Each structure stands twice: as C-alpha cells, then as structure tokens.
Amino acid sequence: MKRLLSAALLLTAAAALAEDKPLTLEEALATADAAHPLMQAAQADLDLALAEERIADSSDDATLTAEGILRRGRPTTGADDWREDNVSRLVLRKTLFDFGRARGQVDAARQEVNARQQALMDTRDARRIDIMARFFDVALADARYDADNEFLAVYYVRWDDSKKRHELGELTTSQLAELEAQYQDQREKRNRSLLAQRATRQKLANSLNQPARLPGTLARPLLKQNDLPLPEYEDMLPLALDSNRRLLALQAQLDAVAARTEAIRADRAPTLDVEVIAGDYSRESSSRDRVSGGLILNWPLYQGGRIDGRLARQLADRARLEAQIEQSRRALAESLLETLQEIQWLRMSARPAAKVQIDYRDKMLDRARAEYEMEMRTNLGATMAETQAAAIRASEVEYRLALALARLEALAGRPLAELASPIKLTENK
C-alpha cells in the first residue's frame, strides 16, 4: 500500500511535467512522502526497528524441536557387545517466568520504533521545506531572467543609439565605450540568470525525485499561511519542547535505554520453563520415558563481568542521550526565537518596504508611459525593468516568509493552524 501511494504521488507531479502544464506548489509538496532516497533510508530504519520489535516480542515464544540421534553403546550389565541406541524425540519448551527479561526487551524495542517513527516524520518535514525552497528558487530564477533580459534590451538600445551620436560627434569615444561596457555587463548577468534557470530546475527535479524530468512553467503559489496569526515566543516554546519530533525521538531512545537496563538487570534473576518430551528409542530401558514433562528452574549464580559491562554501556548511552536532549532543547529554543523574529521582521519591515517600492515603481511606470506617449522621454523600458525588480523583491519576501513558517511548523511539530492565535507584534518605526 505504501508503495502504491508513493507511486501515485510521484505520478501527480510527473503528469504535470509531462503535460507541460504549470506545476503547482501543492503538487510539488505532494511528493514529500514519495520514495525519495532520504525517505527510503528513514523508512528502512523504521522497518529495522519494527523487525527488532518482533524479535524481542517473540523471545519467550514456545519452541518445538525435533531431535534424532544415531549412536551405539555397550551396556554396563548383561551382554558385553555393542548395541544400537538410537533416539528420536520431540521437545516442547516454553518460558513461564523470566522476571522481566522479555518485558524490558519488548519495551526497549517499542521505544526504538517510536523514535524511528518520529525521525521519519522529521525527515518528511525536511523534505517539504526542501521542496518549497527549490520551488521558490525556480520561480525567482525565472523572474530574475525576465528582469535581466528587459534590462539587457534597455542597455542595448542605449548603446546602439549612441553609435550614431558618436558618429555625429555628440559623444566621445570613452562615453561610447562606457555604454558598451554597461551592455556587456548586463549581458553577462542575463546569461548567468539563464544558467540559473536550468540549475534551479535540476535541483527541483531531484527534490521531486524526478531527476530526468525538469519542470517547465510554475504556477504562482498562493501561500495562504503567510498571514496566519502566531502566538508569542514564550507561549510557543513549551508547545515546541513538548512536540518537537527530534526531541521526541531522543526521549524515546532514552526510554529505550531505561527499559534495556531493566532487562539486563533481570539477567541475574532465575527463569522458569516448562518442558514436554515425546520420544522413541531403539533400545528399551525402564529408565526411559516415552512421554515426560516437567518444570526447569535456571538460576544463574555467577556470570563474571558480563552484566556489569552491559550495564556500564547502557549508563554511558544514557549520559550521551541526556546531553543530546539538553543540547537539542537549547538549540530548539534558539531556532524558535530566530524564526519568530525573522517572521516578525518580514511581516513588519521587509513586506511594507517591498510594497512601497512596488507602489513607487508603478507610479514611475505610469509617468514614463505618459512621457513616452508625449515623446518627451524614452526610458519606458528601464522603468518597466525596475518595476519587475521591485516585484521580485516582494516575491522574495513572501517566499522567505513561507519558508520561515514551514520551519516554524517543523520546529513546533504540529500544524500552524493549531498554534494560531492573535499575534502581538510591535511595529518598529
């Protein structure tokens, strides 16, 4: 079922590529669960943990053994010759009580499964953020190419028109050379933007797990969450510490160490097994039973340094995990604060500044059009290119804001809609 779902998700994005229709951000994000190498590795770790859980859960299962023994022996009484003494039997054994061994192993294995599940979800979150980033890179690369191409046309017209003025003696050779240098610089910048279009598309294709299918045009993302209200840092931090997936995975590993430690300590306790044997013998004897059953008590009295060594290893593992958890808590607090501050800056400073630039460039474009129609000036192309640059700046802000919110969602370990509340931001003037 998982493979079918992954294939369906990949086909959704592949269909958009094959039909050359605009690829939407939603279609791209739908491939986050698909069989990307990172997801495959995380799923393999989870499958390994599930296999270890099955092994631990079956450690006290009954065992049924068939034994066949071919041998010859010389009796201590009676005839002094060698006789056949073959044995065939079935042995059924089941542990009745192990005083915590199996329970500790099973608990440890289940905690490892929990840790791997959290790690898988964390990998999925990272995949979604990577896909978003690659998608936005392509969108910006396309926009920058269009703007650079518009600027290139402007510089070329200026340089080309100046050739005639130079021939008429209205411009010096150095002034003409300066205009040509500006054109060549812009041409180099435009060509670099063209290369970026190809490079960013390859990275997006790899992120979508479709390295041989480069996306064509992209649909403009809606980014509905960009204006979602958020709680204050002091309110969000406890929630993040409680549900962050990396912290949950580390805590599960720590719980697994505790359960494993108890299982190791139980190795000093006895075990009680029940055993039933049904056998057949080639030589009859009154001391042999065709069917027998009994209880077996096994009490280890001395095991050398095995138990102490294993316990010392668990103690060191516990100290390591506790240090990692504490360090991860501090890193989470820092990342959460930095992300919230970035969102605040983008919303309260970068976004308004970009909007003012767009408004200003729109007014300048209207003015340039009017002057162009009146044949007073001929800088319409440059104004249009500058308007495109202002729009790119606004798009960069929105894309960066969307990525910051996606990181915040991953840090909190829950959807932003669950965290939404009236946000209290003070505008810096």
**For 226, which DSSP code?**
G
Task: Please report which confidence band the pLDDT of residue 56 belongs to, taking 50, 70 and 90 as the band edges.
Answer: very high
Task: Please report which confidence band the pLDDT of residue 169 belongs to, taking 50, 70 and 90 as the band edges.
Answer: confident
> 3-state secondary structure string, 69-120?
ECCEECCCCCCCCCEECCEEEEEEEEEEECCCHHHHHHHHHHHHHHHHHHHH
Check pLDDT > 80 for residue 19: no
pLDDT of residue 421: 54
Of the candidates 161, 333, 337, the residue with the CA atom closest to the CA atom of residue 242: 333
Q: Which residue has the higher pLDDT, 289 or 102?
A: 102
Check pLDDT > 60 for residue 18: no
Given a contact cutoff of 8 angstroms between Cβ atoms, the answer to whether 274 and 293 are in contact is yes
pLDDT of residue 48: 95
**Domains, the chain, ranges and CATH?**
2-71+84-419 (1.20.1600.10)
Check pLDDT > 90 for residue 256: yes
pLDDT of residue 375: 47
Check pLDDT > 80 for residue 150: yes
Mean per-residue pLDDT of the chain: 86
Check pLDDT > 90 for residue 342: yes
Distance separating alpha carbons of residues 124 and 127, to the nearest angstrom: 5
Task: Please report which confidence band the pLDDT of residue 78 belongs to, taking 50, 70 and 90 as the band edges.
Answer: low
pLDDT of residue 366: 66
Percent of the chain at pLDDT > 90 equals: 56
Task: Please report which confidence band the pLDDT of residue 33 belongs to, taking 50, 70 and 90 as the band edges.
Answer: confident
pLDDT of residue 28: 94
Distance separating alpha carbons of residues 25 and 201, to the nearest angstrom: 14
Distance separating alpha carbons of residues 299 and 98, to the nearest angstrom: 10
- Average of per-residue pLDDT across 400-421: 89
Pairing of strands 72-73, 291-298: unpaired
Helical segments of 208-290, H only? 233-243, 245-265
Range from 229-243, 275-289, 339-353, 388-402 carrying the lowest mean pLDDT: 275-289
Check pLDDT > 90 for residue 84: no
Check pLDDT > 50 for residue 374: no
Check pLDDT > 60 for residue 369: yes
Q: Which residue has the higher pLDDT, 376 or 56?
A: 56
Task: Please report which confidence band the pLDDT of residue 371 belongs to, taking 50, 70 and 90 as the band edges.
Answer: low
Kindly give, in sequence order, each residue whose CB lies less than 8 Å from that of residue 105, ignoring residues fewer than 6 positions away.
Answer: 56, 59, 259, 260, 263
